[in-house]
Structure 1
C-alpha cells in the first residue's frame, strides 16, 4: 500500500500545481499583454497580433503537455491498481470451508453483535438462525456482562468516571493479577478533572485518598501529578501539558474494554472481527498463491491445507509468538513444543524423536549443522 500512497501523493501534488498556475489565467495574461501594447501603440496592431498568435500557441502547447503528463500518470496509476488488486477472488476461496460448521458460524455472528453492543440485532439473529435449538445460545450472564460493559463505556464517553471506578474497585484483585494500571489511570483522570474545574483542595484530598496504593508502581507519575497543581490555571501551557492530552479518554475506554474482556476470559476484539481483518490482510497473498497453483496446474494439498506462505500481519493481530518446525513445517503446540538442541538449532519435539529414532541416547546429526547430538540434551523452548 505504501507504493500506492506515494504515487497518489505525486499525482495529487502535480494536480495542485496545475490548479495553482491556472491555464486560463495564463491565456488571459497573454491576451491582456497584447491588448495593452495595441492600446499604447495602435500602429503595432499587426506585429502585436502576430506576437499574440505565437504566444497563444506556445501557451496552449505547454498546457497540452502538462495535461498529457497528468493524464498519463493517472492512466499508469489506474493500471497499477487494476493489476495489483484483481477483482477475481474466487480462486482463493474455498466454498466448502464451512461445511458442517454452520452452527458455529451462526453463533459466532450472533456473539459478534452482542460484543458490539447491538443486543437487539444479536437476539433477533440468534432467534432467526435458531441458535438456541442447536444449544449455542448466548447465555444471559454473558449478555448481562456486556450490557454492563457498554453502560460503563457510555459513561466514560461522557467523562463520567464513577461507574468505571466502582467496577475497578470491585475487581481490584483480578486487575492486580494482570498488572493492570486501569484503576490508577481512572484515579489520575479524576484528579485532573478536579484541577481543570479549579477545585484544588478537593483534588489534593482525592490524591491523598486514592494515590497511596499505587505509590510504589507510579511514584514518578504521582510526583508530576502533584506538581502540576501549581499550574492549575494554565496546565495546557505548562511543562505538564502532556497530562491532559485529548486522547486520554479514548485510551481509558480501550484499556477498560480490554481488561473487562480479559477478566471474563475473552479477547478484546470479537473472533469474527479478527478473522475478517486477518483474512483481508492475507487475501492478496492467497490470490497470488492461487494464481501460481492454477498456472502450474497442480494442487498444494488434498487435505484443504493452506500453503506455507508468509503473511505480514499488523501488530494488533499478533497475539503470541509462533514457531514452525523447519523440518516438519508444522506449527508448534503444547503437545509438540519447540526443542532447542545443544548446537542452538530448534525443531519440534516430534521431529526430534524421529531424528533420534525414539532413543534419548541415540546420537544423530543436526539437520542444519555438523554437530552430533543426543535427544536427552535438548531443552524445551518457550516463546
Structure 2
C-alpha cells in the first residue's frame, strides 16, 4: 500500500502543478500581448499574428505534453492497482442469503431512513416495498416508532440551537428509567443550562438555578457540582482558569450525542442504525473473507460450518454488542445450540463439554476440570452474557 500512496502523491503533485499554471490563462496572456502590439502598431498585424500563431502552437504543445504526462501516470497507476488487487469481490457473497426474506431487508432499509430523520423517504420506501402490509409476519413498522424519532430529531434540532428546554422536559419525564441505566443525561443538561446562564452574565439566576436543580444530584455528582459553583469566581477569566474545561467548544455536541444514545437505549435500540453497522462490519471483514475464499477455491475446499465465520474478524469497540465465550475445555466458541453452562462451583463450560464430562448421565457426579469440587450436569445453569 505504501507504494500506491507514493505514486498517488506524485500524480497529485503533477495535477497541482497543472492547476497552478492554468493553460487557458497562458493562452489568454499570449493573445492579449499580441493584441496590445497590434494596437500600438497597426502595420505589424501580419507579423504579430504570425508570432501569435507560433506562440499558440508552442503553448498548446506544452499543455498537451503536460496532460499526456499526467494521463500516462494515471494509466500506469490504474494498471498497478488492477494487477495488485485481482480478487473478485463477488466470490464470497451468497446471492441467496435473502431468499424468502426480502421483507426483512426492506424493513431494515425503511427503518434506516426513519432513524436518519428522512421520514418522507422512509415512508415512501416502506409503502413501495409493502413493508407496512406484512402484518402476518409481524414485520409492520409501528407508527409509534416514527413518532418517537420525530420527537428525537425535534429535540436534537433544539439542542443545536442551544435550546435545552425540550431535552430537559424529556429527561424529567423519563428520569426513573434514566436513573436505572445510570445515565447522567439529566444532570449534564442542568449543568449546561447553568453554564449558559453564567456565560450570559446572569450570575444570580445561575445560582438560583443550581439550588433548585442540583439538589437531586448531590450524592452522585458532588465534586462536579463543587467545581461548577467555584467557577463563578473565575467567570471573567475562565479560559485561563482551572475551570476552562467547563466551556469547551464541543460540549454541545457531547450533549446531543448523549441524548441520542439514551433516547435510543430507552427504545431498546442501538445508537447506530443496524444497516449502518452491518455495512461497516461487512466492509471491514470483506478483504479477509475474499482472501479466505480465494484460498478455498485454489484448494478446492469448502467451509463446512453454518452461521460461523471461517476466520476471526477483528472489530472496533463500537461494533461489538455481545460477549463472546470460548469453552476452556473444547476451545470452541459458544453458540445457541452449544451455550455456556455454569456448574455449582461457578466455573463455566459449553454444554457439549458438560455432556462429555458427565458421559451423558446428568445425575452422575464428576470432578470440575478447574477445581476439586464435584458437580452434576443437572445442577448446571445456562449462562447469558
Give yes or no for contact 1:155–1:163 (8 Å, CA) kept in 2: yes
- What's the secondary structure of 2:170's corresponding residue? helix
- What's the secondary structure of 1:114's corresponding residue? helix
> Following the alignment from structure 2 to structure 1, what is the Cα–Cα distance between the partners of residues 343 and 294?
37
Residue number in structure 1 paired with 2:176: 173
Residue number in structure 1 paired with 2:68: none
> Following the alignment from structure 1 to structure 2, what is the Cα–Cα distance between the partners of residues 284 and 371?
46
Q: 1:357 aligns with which of 356, 359, 365?
A: 359
Instruction: Give the C-alpha shift of residue 91 in structure 1.
Output: 1.3
The answer on 1:94 being equivalent to 2:94 is yes
- What's the secondary structure of 2:130's corresponding residue? coil
Residue number in structure 2 paired with 1:276: 279
Relative to structure 1, is the Cα distance of residues 307 and 144 closer, same or farther in structure 2, using a 3 angstrom cutoff? closer
Residue number in structure 2 paired with 1:127: 127
Give yes or no for contact 1:91–1:287 (8 Å, CA) kept in 2: yes
The answer on 1:187 being equivalent to 2:190 is yes
Give yes or no for contact 1:324–1:331 (8 Å, CA) kept in 2: yes
CA shift digits 1:304-334 (9 cap, x unpaired) = 5443421110010112311133628342449
- Flag structure 1 segments of 5+ consecutive residues without an equivalent: 20-71
> Following the alignment from structure 1 to structure 2, what is the Cα–Cα distance between the partners of residues 371 and 5?
55
Residue number in structure 2 paired with 1:46: none
- What's the secondary structure of 2:349's corresponding residue? strand
- What's the secondary structure of 1:90's corresponding residue? coil
Instruction: Give the C-alpha shift of residue 177 in structure 1.
Output: 0.7
Q: 1:163 aligns with which of 166, 175, 184?
A: 166
Give yes or no for contact 1:282–1:311 (8 Å, CA) kept in 2: yes
Relative to structure 1, is the Cα distance of residues 343 and 115 closer, same or farther in structure 2, using a 3 angstrom cutoff? closer
Residue number in structure 2 paired with 1:113: 113
Relative to structure 1, is the Cα distance of residues 123 and 382 closer, same or farther in structure 2, using a 3 angstrom cutoff? closer
Residue number in structure 2 paired with 1:61: none
> Following the alignment from structure 1 to structure 2, what is the Cα–Cα distance between the partners of residues 5 and 190?
49
> Following the alignment from structure 2 to structure 1, what is the Cα–Cα distance between the partners of residues 211 and 373?
64
Residue number in structure 2 paired with 1:312: 314
> Following the alignment from structure 2 to structure 1, what is the Cα–Cα distance between the partners of residues 118 and 2?
35
Relative to structure 1, is the Cα distance of residues 288 and 226 closer, same or farther in structure 2, using a 3 angstrom cutoff? same
> Following the alignment from structure 1 to structure 2, what is the Cα–Cα distance between the partners of residues 89 and 364?
50
Residue number in structure 2 paired with 1:251: 254
Instruction: Give the C-alpha shift of residue 382 in structure 1.
Output: 6.2
Instruction: Give the C-alpha shift of residue 197 in structure 1.
Output: 1.0
> Root-mean-square deviation (CA), in Å?
3.6
Residue number in structure 1 paired with 2:27: none
Residue number in structure 2 paired with 1:224: 227
Instruction: Give the C-alpha shift of residue 293 in structure 1.
Output: 0.8
> Following the alignment from structure 1 to structure 2, what is the Cα–Cα distance between the partners of residues 379 and 259?
32
Relative to structure 1, is the Cα distance of residues 356 and 328 closer, same or farther in structure 2, using a 3 angstrom cutoff? farther
- What's the secondary structure of 1:347's corresponding residue? strand
- TM-score by length of structure 2 reads 0.73
- Flag structure 2 segments of 5+ consecutive residues without an equivalent: 17-72
> Following the alignment from structure 1 to structure 2, what is the Cα–Cα distance between the partners of residues 382 and 339?
10
Relative to structure 1, is the Cα distance of residues 354 and 81 closer, same or farther in structure 2, using a 3 angstrom cutoff? farther
Instruction: Give the C-alpha shift of residue 237 in structure 1.
Output: 1.7
Relative to structure 1, is the Cα distance of residues 289 and 353 closer, same or farther in structure 2, using a 3 angstrom cutoff? same
